[in-house]
Chain A
């Protein structure tokens, strides 16, 4: 309790500091940095920063202001005041303010002067070096951005995918046969969806290349990702995308074994009682209804030709069933799975949704091993030219689109 109270006090003091910072900028704009009003405001700011118990870092973003990456609860008026400060820092190219200790009053006046100058004169204003404060630019992750932005995206998505896989394993370990943990599973699907909103390609790559064992929970997460990715690329409604991902995850978790797994119909029978348990009215919502309706439709005799998106669920499920074949103790690479899927079209999986799944990460899919200039690399995305045989490849620590078509390099067998 004392820890929570302490956190509340720190938060309140940080909010006060933001208000005093705004007051300082206003005083400087009205009366100048040397005025007594400005000095009073700077002193109040210094006190507030000390009360906020440094060290801490403020992330100053247009959407929110965060203290150590946790959002501060801003009222409407506080948000508006904070927005002035965010804009001023943005003009200096800084989005993070690290407070090591409360600076001196004179230094804070200098900082205020620089910020007011930046707000009025633009980026030409220079920031003074201030003891106790460090200003940094935050690299926001961005697909197809600068190399730094792409690397940031890879790191962020990689970390979040790692967390999703850990959650999936924990959920699988604690799940009972009679009750489906709806809130946890929903949170997991939502996390996966957030990763995909950042970038489907990077999420796929992170899932494929993440270190660690290929547990049934991980394969269930990958199957859910594949379903979500196909539905997102087809621009299907979010309600259906989420239901498809959730249903796939639930069925795969009930159906996949350490090696292979049961047929989808059996997985439905195993999952059904748990999914219907705990039907308290407050636990019911359109998402749950759609997931259950989908699973019920998947109970049909031939899911490959089933209704709704069941054939897609079936294709994604079968792909993960193939990943760790039941008859032999090896694991197929993403490339081998792609080859299996291409051969199974129309025979073992629905031709339409199967093709969509084949193409969702490129015909030579992201995560596939290839030889580019006789060096082993991995496919990280489709190229701008759209040439399926010349995807973007990561080789020797560099991402590039090769001049020549790449050669496939399965760790299991190399084609003649």
Chain B
């Protein structure tokens, strides 16, 4: 029964939950392998049917396969297995491509880390053609041999077509064969010796050829010709150096654009990425190569500019940059590349200093409006915010621009930036005030630092807290913030009213009371013994007694 004869709906549309016996991680893995097999089979069929779902399925297969990063699929004659677990078994309807691919010599397939869904699509397209007979076993074997399965590591043996040649043509006794080989070897020696005797006299021969042989014998005995393991490993690393191959192939592609079709665009991405990251410096010249290689690609097979932008970002963080080169780079780089580049500079990892410096350069270069339009402040950490607002103020950024940026910053970064730059408060204090109002629990712990930074900040903090009658702030945060306000000399205006309002919660009044400890003239009348104090709640009375004792 051929698949086309088989009854029933296509399983592409029908996905039923699979039953897998067993529990725990092993069963989970077994289920994942079966899901991978199902998806792989569905993809081959979707491609054959020119189904629009194929692209989505390729992403699913890629995701499932990548999920089991170590999954090496063993290609047997009638089924696929991984780690001895079934992935897909060929039957009347499914996995019909397995046997012909096996006949082509395919034995193991694993997905490389640097693979994309397009690679899965390409392999499955070949498998589909193989299954339909549109591609011969020999042609598929040749395609594999030429490295056509980009994104996969493949183990391949001789195809069944070559199997016949791997069998001895005739059975002969071994002794007979070795006698013949011995005679051939002696005849060869005689031929060589005779030819040599015709060409040179024995003395000349001995002078020319005997000393190297003597040296060889001595050096073999001394053991100084053997290749050690470290040497072998170094040679292997040199021979398979991905960055060096990437450079060589890219240079060739740059010089000979007609060879561009040799690699899918997606796979030009990885040599480029490798070149960018392995370059000794932030190499602007690679942009030109990227431009050359980007042209003429199909719709789905494109260079991943975002990935390359991120690689440029990492290169900059690792090795620093020349400001002029950076400016030239962002002016020339395609928008998609910049979109990958800029977020890397915001990552709070090593090289953060280079990242901050680079963003400051860009802020100067672009101006605040353009800068904040391209670089979202949402990801700024506090240190970066402080550095960038310094640059923004220096370039004369206006209040409206600063306000917009402050609105987007995480609250901690906004408050730290405000604490660091009094100018920022003067220009965009209203935004800070609004943000504290909007989020007391998160802003509370940061208010003390802000209030302590300068009198203007203390007045701003005091004003906001008073306006909210301190509601929403945690007790400790409130205590620290009010103390900082009082120390800045703003106690009478912003702290005392909180103490005096008897309707306020006890913890608010207590925080205000303790904050006023730093302002003795304000505290003295409060600590005076008054009848009204007798009406205060017990914890207030205790606090007053404690303060009296301390002051005395």
Binding site for B on A (CB under 8 A): 59, 61, 63-64, 66, 69-71, 74-77, 79-80, 83, 136, 138-141, 147-148, 150-152, 154-156, 159-160, 186, 190, 194, 197-198, 209, 211, 231, 234-240, 242, 244, 276, 279, 281, 284-290, 292-294, 296-297, 307-309, 312, 328-333, 335-336, 338-340, 342-343, 345, 352-353, 355-356, 358-359, 363-364, 369, 376-378, 388-389, 394-399, 408-416
> Which residues of chain A have C-beta atoms less than 8 A from B235's C-beta?
234, 352-353, 356
- Among A61, A234, A296, the most chain B Cβ lie within 10 Å of the Cβ of A234
Would you call A296 and B252 a contact (CB within 8 A)? yes
Would you call B259 and A76 a contact (CB within 8 A)? no
Given A286-B150, A330-B192, A358-B225, A413-B206 contact (CB < 8 Å) = yes
Would you call A335 and B226 a contact (CB within 8 A)? no
B219 interfacial by beta-carbon distance below 8 Å:
yes
Given A376-B186, A378-B185, A399-B178, A363-B245 contact (CB < 8 Å) = no
> Which residues of chain B have C-beta atoms less than 8 A from A333's C-beta?
188-189, 192
Would you call A413 and B178 a contact (CB within 8 A)? no
Closest Cβ of chain B to A328, distance in Å, is: 5
Closest Cβ of chain B to A153, distance in Å, is: 9
> Which residues of chain B have C-beta atoms less than 8 A from A276's C-beta?
256, 259
Cα–Cα distance between A216 and B226 once the two chains are bound (Å): 30
Would you call B182 and A198 a contact (CB within 8 A)? no
Would you call A155 and B177 a contact (CB within 8 A)? yes
**Cβ < 8 Å to A, chain B residues 239-281:** 239-241, 244-245, 248-249, 251-253, 255-256, 258-259, 261-263, 267
> Which residues of chain A have C-beta atoms less than 8 A from B174's C-beta?
147-148, 150-151
> Which residues of chain B have C-beta atoms less than 8 A from A294's C-beta?
248
Would you call B248 and A329 a contact (CB within 8 A)? no
Closest residue of A by beta carbon distance from B214 = A415
Would you call B164 and A79 a contact (CB within 8 A)? no
Closest Cβ of chain B to A128, distance in Å, is: 23
Would you call B249 and A289 a contact (CB within 8 A)? yes
> Which residues of chain A have C-beta atoms less than 8 A from B184's C-beta?
209, 211
**Cβ < 8 Å to A, chain B residues 207-238:** 208-210, 212-217, 219-221, 225-227, 231-232, 234-236, 238
Would you call B179 and A397 a contact (CB within 8 A)? yes
- The residue that A76 contacts in the complex, of B78, B142, B251, with Cβ under 8 A, is B78
> Which residues of chain A have C-beta atoms less than 8 A from B350's C-beta?
none
Closest residue of A by beta carbon distance from B133 = A73
- Among A141, A394, A412, the most chain B Cβ lie within 10 Å of the Cβ of A412
Which 6 pairs between the two chains have the least Cβ-Cβ distance?
Answer: A69-B164, A397-B179, A286-B147, A151-B174, A339-B212, A411-B192
> Which residues of chain A have C-beta atoms less than 8 A from B227's C-beta?
355-356, 358-359
> Which residues of chain A have C-beta atoms less than 8 A from B209's C-beta?
332, 336, 339, 410, 412-413
- The residue that B258 contacts in the complex, of A152, A279, A296, with Cβ under 8 A, is A279
Cα–Cα distance between A64 and B193 once the two chains are bound (Å): 48
Closest Cβ of chain A to B200, distance in Å, is: 6
- Give per-residue flags for B406-441: 1 if the beta carbon is below 8 A from chain A beta carbons, else 0: 000000000000000000000000000000000000
Given A209-B181, A294-B248, A333-B192, A364-B212 contact (CB < 8 Å) = no
Would you call A330 and B196 a contact (CB within 8 A)? yes
Cα–Cα distance between A389 and B213 once the two chains are bound (Å): 14
Closest Cβ of chain B to A196, distance in Å, is: 12
> Which residues of chain B have C-beta atoms less than 8 A from A70's C-beta?
161, 164
Cα–Cα distance between A296 and B255 once the two chains are bound (Å): 11
Would you call A139 and B171 a contact (CB within 8 A)? yes
Would you call A63 and B213 a contact (CB within 8 A)? no
Would you call B215 and A339 a contact (CB within 8 A)? yes
> Which residues of chain A have C-beta atoms less than 8 A from B200's C-beta?
328, 330
- The residue that B239 contacts in the complex, of A75, A77, A288, A309, with Cβ under 8 A, is A309
Cα–Cα distance between A186 and B143 once the two chains are bound (Å): 11
Would you call A197 and B192 a contact (CB within 8 A)? no
- The residue that A395 contacts in the complex, of B158, B182, B195, with Cβ under 8 A, is B182
Closest residue of A by beta carbon distance from B249 = A293
Closest Cβ of chain A to B126, distance in Å, is: 13
B166 interfacial by beta-carbon distance below 8 Å:
yes
- The residue that B248 contacts in the complex, of A80, A156, A307, A353, with Cβ under 8 A, is A307
Closest residue of A by beta carbon distance from B221 = A389
Would you call A231 and B103 a contact (CB within 8 A)? no
Would you call B231 and A398 a contact (CB within 8 A)? no
Would you call B148 and A285 a contact (CB within 8 A)? yes
- Further pairs besides A285-B148, A285-B262: 4, Cβ < 8 Å: A139-B171, A198-B166, A293-B251, A396-B179
B96 interfacial by beta-carbon distance below 8 Å:
yes
B160 interfacial by beta-carbon distance below 8 Å:
yes
> Which residues of chain A have C-beta atoms less than 8 A from B263's C-beta?
286, 289
Would you call B217 and A415 a contact (CB within 8 A)? yes
Cα–Cα distance between A330 and B78 once the two chains are bound (Å): 56
Would you call B167 and A154 a contact (CB within 8 A)? no
- Interface residue total, chain B, C-beta cutoff 8 A: 96
> Which residues of chain B have C-beta atoms less than 8 A from A152's C-beta?
168
Would you call A364 and B259 a contact (CB within 8 A)? no
Given A359-B227, A412-B193, A352-B239 contact (CB < 8 Å) = no
- Cβ contacts A to B, 27 pairs, < 8 Å: A64-B160, A70-B164, A74-B99, A76-B91, A147-B174, A151-B174, A151-B177, A159-B165, A194-B158, A198-B166, A236-B239, A285-B262, A286-B267, A287-B146, A290-B249, A336-B213, A356-B227, A363-B225, A364-B220, A369-B189, A388-B226, A395-B182, A397-B178, A408-B213, A412-B192, A415-B214, A416-B210
Cα–Cα distance between A239 and B156 once the two chains are bound (Å): 12
B535 interfacial by beta-carbon distance below 8 Å:
no
- The residue that B166 contacts in the complex, of A83, A141, A154, with Cβ under 8 A, is A141
> Which residues of chain A have C-beta atoms less than 8 A from B157's C-beta?
197
Would you call B239 and A66 a contact (CB within 8 A)? no
B53 interfacial by beta-carbon distance below 8 Å:
no
Closest Cβ of chain A to B212, distance in Å, is: 4
Cα–Cα distance between A95 and B173 once the two chains are bound (Å): 19
Given A71-B163, A276-B256, A328-B200, A408-B195 contact (CB < 8 Å) = no
Closest Cβ of chain A to B248, distance in Å, is: 4
B6 interfacial by beta-carbon distance below 8 Å:
no
Would you call A76 and B178 a contact (CB within 8 A)? no
Would you call A279 and B213 a contact (CB within 8 A)? no
Closest residue of A by beta carbon distance from B257 = A279
Closest residue of A by beta carbon distance from B165 = A160
> Which residues of chain B have C-beta atoms less than 8 A from A288's C-beta?
146, 259, 262
> Which residues of chain A have C-beta atoms less than 8 A from B261's C-beta?
281, 284
B301 interfacial by beta-carbon distance below 8 Å:
no
- The residue that B212 contacts in the complex, of A198, A287, A343, with Cβ under 8 A, is A343
- The residue that A63 contacts in the complex, of B160, B178, B199, B221, with Cβ under 8 A, is B160
Would you call B167 and A59 a contact (CB within 8 A)? yes
Given A279-B258, A329-B195, A369-B185, A397-B215 contact (CB < 8 Å) = no
> Which residues of chain A have C-beta atoms less than 8 A from B284's C-beta?
none
Cα–Cα distance between A293 and B184 once the two chains are bound (Å): 41
Cα–Cα distance between A71 and B102 once the two chains are bound (Å): 13
Would you call B78 and A79 a contact (CB within 8 A)? yes
Would you call B262 and A352 a contact (CB within 8 A)? no
Given A285-B146, A296-B252, A79-B77 contact (CB < 8 Å) = yes
Closest Cβ of chain B to A338, distance in Å, is: 6
Closest residue of A by beta carbon distance from B98 = A76
B205 interfacial by beta-carbon distance below 8 Å:
yes
Cα–Cα distance between A151 and B221 once the two chains are bound (Å): 32
> Which residues of chain A have C-beta atoms less than 8 A from B169's C-beta?
155, 159
Would you call A154 and B192 a contact (CB within 8 A)? no
Cα–Cα distance between A161 and B222 once the two chains are bound (Å): 35
Given A279-B259, A330-B195, A64-B103 contact (CB < 8 Å) = yes
> Which residues of chain A have C-beta atoms less than 8 A from B225's C-beta?
342, 345, 355, 358-359, 363
Closest Cβ of chain B to A188, distance in Å, is: 12
Cα–Cα distance between A63 and B195 once the two chains are bound (Å): 48
> Which residues of chain B have C-beta atoms less than 8 A from A364's C-beta?
220
> Which residues of chain B have C-beta atoms less than 8 A from A151's C-beta?
172-174, 177-178
Would you call B175 and A397 a contact (CB within 8 A)? yes
Would you call B146 and A292 a contact (CB within 8 A)? no
